[in-house]
Structure 1
């Protein structure tokens, strides 16, 4: 199925994890894909695996609004239009609140929340022309707090509500805006928890489907939200967490 033939999709954080899987999924469905990431080395390695005729790799720190503006402008000029923006780039820094430095707080907020806004703001004039859409990758940590990640929880909570705000403001232009909210998944960001067997086991016990997420699980929902099949979906906050957020946080009773 080539649902995105002739369309251009920008994916931030495309050098690994959800972003890489999402870029691959869109590319497989015929899209021209723009891969954005601050990690230039890994970005170039990933980009080598995409069709040169239907892809463009741009090294970009999304916390830098001027760099974002240049990247979006270059993408539009190179590929002619922008139809979909996937705001996936993000970082997580653990720590108790009293141990969280100004630098840690600022770096997480600047990338996870401000960077999401900068990319959306730069893309909106182009998305108005195509009646395109935005998918923000938040987290179940943005739907309810969890321990030891105050900056990440705050940033992702902001992304969830930013999604609703953008959906309301942009709907009149035919632009849809939604967020996906992954649970613990096998990505570089979740590596510390995934590789700790005891912690991973506890998390899996709280997950209805009894397994961790894979990048492709999240990518498939993002692609659906960008498609015409989701044409009446906007302002939605969709957990993609195997049922973790459906419970009260307790493991099943023996």
Structure 2
């Protein structure tokens, strides 16, 4: 993002840039929206069922032109329509953060509890959805010439521990897709993954904050990961990690050790 060096926010500002964030109305997505807007970006806040949240967030952000955007991960036609809307209304896309995802808490040992419908929903939302989004926005991103895609993954992709086996598998697929797409989308687009562990959000249905605290206690840093910690890593990937692509970065307090 080198052509914003003369912007009001200095060499790492995003003045004049457009960022699209899927799952942008809550959790890690909303925190990323906030950070990107603070750096001067105009943000399209992707939502599925959280329209009211997206609209309220857009109204609260610094800057102007922020766009609540219907962007469901299970409908490729709607995703292409969202890309067309961004082009028509904002004229460009320089950053794409794939933060939308879904899971369901299912004990790994209870194979029968993981029904086909749940398994398919997790894979479609967490794997095909980001792919479809990247595919739809790729022409706009390439036109930028210095674009970044950030895929929000999970430590579960590496250690196989997570809310469900299907969720772990979906994030492992996302990490592999990050590598594959980095090869074919460069040099115009960098593709970077961010893998947190035990973020203090309501993402996992039924997970208590006590469970999150317990996970944090098992890490060397013993710090609970907040959504903003992940958002800061997203910003670093966009603005600072200029020679990084095809890699997935851990933001886990050392939990992998």
TM-score under structure 1 normalisation?
0.90
**Do 1:32 and 1:54's aligned partners in 2 also have CA atoms closer than 8 Å?**
yes
| Superposed displacement of residue 203, structure 1 | 1.2
Query: Aligned match of 2:43 in 11, 19, 33?
Result: 33
Written as runs of structure 1 = structure 2, the 5 A alignment for 1:97-246 is 97-131=111-145, 132-146=147-161, 149-171=164-186, 173-190=187-204, 192-195=206-209, 197=210, 199-227=211-239, 229-245=240-256
Moved over 4 A (4+): none
**Do 2:182 and 2:190's aligned partners in 1 also have CA atoms closer than 8 Å?**
yes
**Do 1:97 and 1:150's aligned partners in 2 also have CA atoms closer than 8 Å?**
no
Cα separation, partners in 2 of 1:201 and 1:13, compared to 1, 3 Å: closer
Which has the larger helix fraction? 1
| Superposed displacement of residue 192, structure 1 | 3.7
Give the number of aligned pairs: 242
| Superposed displacement of residue 123, structure 1 | 1.0
Q: Match for residue 251 of structure 1? A: none
| Superposed displacement of residue 59, structure 1 | 2.0
Pairwise CA RMSD of aligned residues? 1.6
- The CA distance in 1 between the partners of 2:89 and 2:163, in whole Å, is 42
Which 5+ residue runs of structure 2 have no aligned equivalent? 1-8
Cα separation, partners in 2 of 1:94 and 1:138, compared to 1, 3 Å: same
Query: Aligned match of 1:78 in 78, 89, 113?
Result: 89
Structure 1 residues 78-130: Cα deviation after superposition (integer angstroms, max 9, x where no partner):
11110010000001112133211121111111111111101100111111111
**Do 1:91 and 1:111's aligned partners in 2 also have CA atoms closer than 8 Å?**
yes
**Do 2:105 and 2:206's aligned partners in 1 also have CA atoms closer than 8 Å?**
no
| Superposed displacement of residue 41, structure 1 | 2.5
Secondary structure at the aligned position of 2:60 is classed as coil
TM-score under structure 2 normalisation?
0.89
Secondary structure at the aligned position of 1:216 is classed as helix
| Superposed displacement of residue 51, structure 1 | 5.0
